[in-house]
Amino acid sequence: MTDATPDDPVTPTQGPRQGRAADDALTGSHRDRFASHPDRDSYDTLAALGDPELLAWAVDHLRTALDTGTPDPEAADLLTVILLAQDRAAEAWEAAERYDASPQARVEVARRHRHTDPEACGGFFMTRAETLIGQRDRDSYTAAAELVALAAECLDLYVAPGTGETYVAELRYTYCRRRHLMAAFDARGLPDDL
């Protein structure tokens, strides 16, 4: 005999089937959210579920959207971020190139991919650094100095040790009259003599 009275609250118990159905509904809800509005938050929610198949679906969903829809730089950037979060830097590099990701996303991908493909990443760093130097402002010079350092590292890896220093020396010679750029190089610790 129990001591329960009719006024006592009843706590339902969930069996394995009910718990699985709730999990499936939650997963479906998060998947629908990502499908309708893919962004970093909706991806992070999917990632928190810890289902590798769901994460693979998210990548496939973005690739399909990018392949069949109009070019979307935000989706391209998101795809690169997701692939980097999954430690798939080589795929992120390919996706950044194929889907025309933003320069900021490409820089982040190249940072992570530079040891795998120093030639391609070094070329990208050099091109992007030249673009930033052409903007002729202190923030751009600071960002360019970081990319020049990365490009020099890549050159040392795929050409020969010391090639990076030669590259920096050539830039210093070419842009010697841009004192703020030279200051950014100095602040970054780039060599100033060869």
10: pLDDT confidence band, cut at 50, 70 and 90?
A: very low
As a whole number, the mean pLDDT across the chain is 89
Nearest-10 Cα torsion for 36, 41, 44, 45: -60
Q: Tell me: the pLDDT tens digits for 50-89?
A: 899 999 999 999 999 999 987 788 999 999 999 999 999 9
Check whether 21 has a pLDDT greater than 80: no
Residue 5 has a pLDDT of 53
Instruction: Please state whether the predicted TM-score (pTM) of the whole model is above 0.85.
Output: no
Average pLDDT score over residue span 13-40? 71
* 3-class secondary structure, 190: coil
Residue 19 has a pLDDT of 46
Residue 106 has a pLDDT of 97
Check whether 15 has a pLDDT greater than 50: no
Residue 25 has a pLDDT of 74
Residue 69 has a pLDDT of 83
Please report the DSSP string for 130-154 in residue order: HHHHHH-SHHHHHHHHHHHHHHHHH
Under DSSP, the state recorded for 69 is S
Q: How far apart are CA 26 and CA 39, in angstroms?
A: 18
SS (H, E, C) 117-133: CHHHHHHHHHHHHHHHH
CB count, 10 Å around CB of 10?
6
Helix axes 163-174, 138-158, angle to 10 degrees: 150
113: pLDDT confidence band, cut at 50, 70 and 90?
A: very high
Q: Tell me: the pLDDT tens digits for 116-172?
A: 999 999 999 999 999 999 999 999 999 999 999 999 999 999 999 999 999 999 999
Q: Give 40 or 194, the one with higher predicted confidence.
A: 40
Residue 7 has a pLDDT of 56
